[in-house]
């Protein structure tokens, strides 16, 4: 596989490089792409040095697969140029997620939507990915009528500048501001931009992406997105109401049997998922599973994952490896 990584100097781009190293992915060539201010920088991968190039130069090298992690504006401007050359583009931004002709892919759920003709694939929002992975087997076995989700999202989801704001505030330095308020010792019920209906763009991603991934526009999703002073790892409090009756034991067993999920649910021993333990791991961690006694056939779950890995880089690389195995070979 001749792989281009667009946005290689960003948090997700750097995580993709770590994964390529960890998984020992066989690539004939890595094409590291970033903005002009990073042009000429060197990156190392498996004892080999690569020079960062601009997106124009990367396009000329004719990659087979390109993972875009440089924001929606770059994707809108350049993705089509790559696909027109026959490249398979996996886009981490929100640019194409809701386009009807672009599959929104989580490999554990709907990898079959990718064919030889599928040149553009969208990676879902990080919060959506971890939730649908955790709930997928429950959804397929019992059906889900409604989901109510509150997120506790780390600052790394906003980018490096947000991490810098958090760490600078802890040092008493408050010059840099990515958020409209302090984030240290605080929680911001504000993810993305506010819309006329009162939701934010991040909340509507959870709502509409979930319906698209499962192909079910009847499922109700209500979301509240909160940014918390955590560096890495998103947490979610999720309440689900099922269509068919299930016992607590059945729900726990289904979660335990779900690929890509690790059950951590021993509250009597203070064992439950936390972002500090999910960081640098690819699984989605689920715990605090319990019945919701206020409504029939409903359950609460606590879902945690590393937003830079399964929420972005790992999911994208899984798609790239699928393309390599099933299409390029």
Report the distance separating Cα 7 and Cα 180, nearest Å: 26
Report the distance separating Cα 63 and Cα 221, nearest Å: 38
Nearest Cα to Cα of residue 309 among 318, 300, 301: 318
Angle, vertex CA 111, rays to CA 214 and CA 134, nearest 5: 50
Report the distance separating Cα 198 and Cα 192, nearest Å: 12
Q: Is 257 exposed, middle or buried (0-12, 13-18, 19+ CB in 10 A)?
A: exposed
Cβ atoms 123, 212 nearer than 8 A:
no
Active site residue 126: yes
Report the distance separating Cα 240 and Cα 130, nearest Å: 15
| Alpha-carbon distances of 33 from 50, 83, 125, rounded to whole Å | 10, 16, 22
From 53, 87, 126, 136, active-site residue = 126
First-residue to last-residue Cα distance in the chain: 9
From 53, 234, 280, 322, active-site residue = 234
Report the distance separating Cα 191 and Cα 277, nearest Å: 24
Cβ atoms 236, 202 nearer than 8 A:
no
Chain centre to alpha carbon of residue 134: 13
> Across the strands, what pairs with 220?
146
Which positions are annotated as active-site residues?
126, 234
């Amino acid at each position: 596989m001749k792989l281009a990584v667009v946005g290689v100097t960003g948090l997700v781009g750097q995580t993709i490089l770590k994964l390529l190293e960890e998984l020992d992915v066989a690539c004939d060539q890595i094409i590291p792409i970033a903005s002009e201010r990073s042009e000429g920088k060197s990156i190392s991968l498996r004892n080999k040095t690569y020079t960062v190039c601009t997106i124009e130069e990367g396009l000329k090298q004719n990659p087979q697969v390109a993972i875009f992690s440089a924001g929606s504006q770059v994707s809108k401007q350049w993705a089509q140029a790559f696909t027109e050359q026959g490249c398979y583009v996996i886009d981490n931004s929100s640019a194409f997620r809701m386009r009807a002709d672009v599959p929104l892919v989580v490999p554990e759920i709907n990898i079959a939507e990718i064919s030889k003709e599928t040149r553009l694939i969208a990676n879902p929002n990080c919060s959506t990915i971890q939730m649908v992975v955790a709930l997928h087997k429950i959804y397929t076995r019992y059906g889900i009528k409604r989901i109510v989700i509150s997120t506790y999202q780390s600052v790394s989801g906003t980018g490096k500048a947000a991490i810098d704001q958090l760490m600078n505030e802890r040092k008493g330095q408050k010059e840099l501001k990515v958020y409209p308020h302090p984030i240290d010792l605080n929680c911001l019920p504000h993810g993305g931009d506010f819309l006329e209906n009162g939701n934010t763009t991040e909340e509507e991603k959870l709502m509409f992406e979930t319906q698209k991934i499962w192909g079910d526009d009847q499922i109700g999703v209500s979301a509240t997105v909160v940014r918390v002073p955590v560096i890495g790892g998103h947490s979610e409090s999720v309440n689900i109401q099922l269509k068919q009756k299930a016992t607590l034991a059945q729900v726990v067993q289904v979660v335990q049997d779900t690929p890509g999920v690790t059950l951590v649910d021993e509250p009597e021993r203070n064992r439950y998922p936390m972002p500090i333990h999910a960081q640098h791991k690819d699984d989605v961690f689920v715990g605090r599973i319990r019945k919701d006694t206020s409504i029939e056939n409903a359950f609460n779950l606590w879902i945690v994952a590393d937003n830079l890995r399964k929420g972005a880089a790992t999911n994208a690389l899984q798609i790239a490896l699928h393309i390599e195995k099933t299409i390029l070979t």
